[in-house]
Amino acid sequence: MSDNFPLGLLLSLLLLLICLSAFFSSSETGMMSLNRYRLSHRANSGEGRAQRVMHLLSRPDRLIGVILIGNNFVNNLAASIATIIAIHFFGEVSGPVISTSLLTIVVLIFAEVTPKTYAAIKPERIAYPASLVLDPLLKVLYPLVWIVNVISNGLLRLLGVKTLENRSDELTREELRTVVHEAGPLIPSRHQAMLVSILDLENVTVNDIMVPRHEVAGIDLDNDLETILAQIRTSQHTRLPVFKGDINNIIGMLHMRNAARFLIKKEITKAAIVQEAREPYFIPESTPLHTQLLNFQKQKRRIGIVVDEYGDVEGLVTLEDILEEIVGEFTTDVADQDRDVHPQGDGSQLIEGTASIREVNKMLGWSLPTDGPKTMNGLILERLESFPVGPTCLQIGEVRIEIIEIRDNLITTARCWLA
């Protein structure tokens, strides 16, 4: 061994180079394994080290370039020094082979697998401190990094990758749903359900949740005045549609708060009732819930009349109906829904024909199709393609259905159970 390079100095330098190799390897894995959304939140909160890391990750080609330049430099230098040491001990013939074998094992264990595994598990512990070194190192080696990036990016363009800048980290709705589900105890299950429900609003239209027209309670001006006043005084609803003869002839929406203005008068007329009614607000049946929620807010409304493409009234929907799709049931309507489904002792369910398929799915955890008819009666008739003349059995997906009662061309009751 030359006096200019004592063995102890070479061994110390070799150990240092292996440590530097471990640093660059762990830095690469740590930087790329960071949770970008947590990092972005911390950077936006003013955390300096997070902002420094965000700056480095804004150009991943430059970051990877400086890391790999450093890593390759120290690895090649380590290989040269290891060869010199091995030749000293084993000779010029066996030394290079032995040094290559031993150094490969040492680098693989101590400078690659171990540091990269640790960095993948604890990326923040590696990435934040490493940024203190990589940021100034990138400035020092920028000319060399720039040359390497020009060549490598040119090769990538030949493969169809035009640029590495401005990478999109936007999440799709399905990806965001996965993030919410995988949040675990960080987000309570109740809040997870609410967030997922908000994401699902786009897939649900107002005719999926509306009160169908045959269940709408309204004031028919063709009735005598005493009947109308008795209906107003005993109404359990805050708002009632006012129509003449048929619900398609809606005149307005009467708020019970405004009804007090004419109820205190000695002489009450139908004209006074109409005068207190607000003009109706009509909604196309295909309007997505997230759009209608914004429309309610914009129009300062809480209830709307759902109409089909021909302008006929299909039902009505309220702001509370949309909010219940997000937070769950919170009104007395739950009792009405429970009357549609009756659990039986054998595990089956007696379900009314007018029951909403979506509500049945939500209550029982079933997966009956909702892209067609909205009620159990409609779904059964669609599958049978004819009106049953007597008790009939069928299966839809995993649900077996036995028609129990038919009245007035309507399937009123069916027994359902999972196959």
Q: Domain with 357 in it: what CATH number? A: 3.30.465.10
Does residue 396 sit in the same domain as residue 304? no
pLDDT tens, residue order, the chain (419 aa): 445 568 888 889 999 999 999 999 999 999 999 988 889 889 989 999 999 999 999 888 899 999 999 999 999 999 999 998 888 888 888 888 888 899 999 999 999 999 999 999 999 999 999 999 999 999 999 999 999 888 888 888 888 776 555 455 677 878 888 888 787 777 888 888 888 888 888 888 998 889 889 889 999 999 999 999 999 999 989 999 999 999 999 999 999 999 989 988 888 899 999 999 999 999 999 999 999 999 999 999 999 999 999 999 999 999 999 998 888 776 555 445 456 899 998 989 999 998 889 889 888 989 999 888 888 999 999 999 888 877 789 999 999 999 999 888 889 999 999 98
Q: Do the domain assignments include residue 237?
A: yes
Does residue 129 sit in the same domain as residue 227? no
Q: Do the domain assignments include residue 70?
A: yes
Does residue 146 sit in the same domain as residue 265? no
Q: Which domain holds residue 79?
A: 7-158
Does residue 209 sit in the same domain as residue 319? yes
pTM of the model as a whole: 0.65
Q: Do the domain assignments include residue 414?
A: yes
How many CB atoms neighbour CB 71 within 10 A? 20
Does residue 237 sit in the same domain as residue 312? yes
Does residue 355 sit in the same domain as residue 224? no
Which residue, 298, 328, 358, sits at the end of a domain?
328
Q: Do the domain assignments include residue 188?
A: no
Q: Do the domain assignments include residue 167?
A: no
Does residue 322 sit in the same domain as residue 340? no
Q: Do the domain assignments include residue 114?
A: yes
Does residue 25 sit in the same domain as residue 131? yes
Instruction: Residue 207: give its domain's CATH number.
Output: 3.10.580.10
Does residue 215 sit in the same domain as residue 344? no
Tally of structural domains, the chain: 3
Q: Do the domain assignments include residue 185?
A: no
Q: Do the domain assignments include residue 142?
A: yes
Does residue 213 sit in the same domain as residue 297? yes
Does residue 243 sit in the same domain as residue 140? no
